[in-house]
């Protein structure tokens, strides 16, 4: 079953254009993942949903090589459109809450924000990647 999920994801992602991935959550019984750069979207046509990773609004994660009293947090802004209807914006976090949002039968969770900061390294805002996990609502 694991190889089936990988094959389905590879097929889905191979057919996507640069800015819009299309996912069919009904084709697999396990969570689906997606890696989005700022400005990229993922579309779930069966649910009439499009989620767009807008930006990283703050990144206070403790850099590698630093001694910190707190692990910090990465905050990401998403716009979610459910057809028909207006866009809903939300902020998902790496450490704080909320880490996920439930909308239209879908649970969208921020699993990770890449790259992880390092002392002395600047992260270009366009280089961030939001690692998401999507699942049917009610499975958490």
Can you give the pTM of this predicted structure? 0.78
pLDDT of residue 74: 98
Provide the pLDDT confidence category of residue 139 given band limits of 50, 70 and 90.
low
Q: Omega of the bond prior to 83 within 30 degrees of 0, cis?
A: no
Cα–Cα distances (Å) from 24 to 14, 54, 80, 94, in that order, read: 14, 22, 17, 26
DSSP conformational letter for 3: H
Domain-wise residue ranges, the chain:
2-136
List of residues 6+ apart from 93 with CB closer than 8 A? 73, 74, 75, 76, 99, 110
**For residue range 83-129, what is the model confidence (pLDDT) as tens digits?**
888 889 999 999 999 999 998 888 999 999 999 999 999 999 999 99
- The pLDDT of 10-32, averaged and rounded, is 47
CATH of 2-136, one of 3.30.1490, 3.40.50, 2.60.98, 2.60.120: 2.60.98
More confident residue, 19 or 47: 47
Provide the pLDDT confidence category of residue 50 given band limits of 50, 70 and 90.
very high
More confident residue, 29 or 53: 53
More confident residue, 29 or 15: 29
């Amino acid at each position: 079953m694991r190889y089936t999920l990988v094959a389905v994801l590879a097929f889905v992602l191979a057919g996507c254009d640069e800015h819009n991935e299309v996912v069919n959550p009904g084709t697999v019984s396990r969570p689906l993942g997606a890696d989005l750069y700022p400005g990229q979207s993922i579309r779930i046509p069966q649910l009439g949903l499009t989620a767009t990773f807008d930006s990283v609004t703050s990144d206070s994660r403790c850099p590698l090589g630093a001694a910190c009293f707190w692990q910090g947090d990465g905050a990401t802004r998403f716009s979610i459109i459910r057809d028909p209807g207006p866009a809903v914006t939300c902020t998902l976090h790496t450490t704080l809450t909320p880490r996920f949002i439930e909308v239209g039968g879908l649970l969208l969770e921020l699993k990770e924000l890449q790259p992880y900061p390092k002392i002395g390294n600047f992260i270009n805002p366009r280089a961030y990647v939001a690692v998401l996990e999507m699942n049917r609502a009610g499975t958490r």
